[in-house]
Amino acid sequence: MRLSELREKQRAVIRRVGGNGILRRRIQEMGIVRGTEIRVEKYAPLKDPLELVVKGYHVSLRVEEAAQIEVELLPPED
């Protein structure tokens, strides 16, 4: 599943960060690396960009960037 396919408030674990070069490195420098838990906080009104919570802080990514990241969906929080 791709990160861009998640809905608001869904959680997932990063399985693979795709892309190449500068974009991939920038995403990884933001803490979006394999094995990290991530939550979609919300989407902008026009669905681009999306706001994520990674390691306790908020990050915004464009949907096209999020489509490069493969995730495994986690069950909802209680």
Quick check: is 78 in a domain? no
Quick check: is 62 in a domain? yes
Q: What is the pLDDT of residue 78?
A: 65
Q: From the CB of residue 7, how many other CB atoms can be counted at a distance below 10 Å?
A: 7
* pLDDT tens-digit series, residues 26-63: 999 989 999 999 999 999 998 899 999 999 999 999 99
Closest by CA position to 40, among listed 30, 51, 55: 51
CA distance 17 to 3: 10
Q: Is the pLDDT of residue 77 over 80?
A: no
CA distance 6 to 75: 12
Q: Is the pLDDT of residue 75 over 80?
A: yes
Q: How confident is the model at residue 76 (pLDDT cuts 50, 70, 90)?
A: confident
Q: What are the two backbone dihedrals, phi and then psi, of residue 64, each rounded to the nearest 5 degrees?
A: -65, -30
Instruction: Identify each DSSP E strand in the chain by its residue range.
Output: 11-17, 37-43, 50-54, 57-61, 69-73
What CATH number does residue 35 fall under? Answer: 2.30.30.90
- Provide the number of structural domains found in the chain: 1
Closest by CA position to 28, among listed 73, 64, 61: 61
Residue 57 belongs to domain spanning: 3-73
Q: What is the pLDDT of residue 16?
A: 94
Quick check: is 25 in a domain? yes
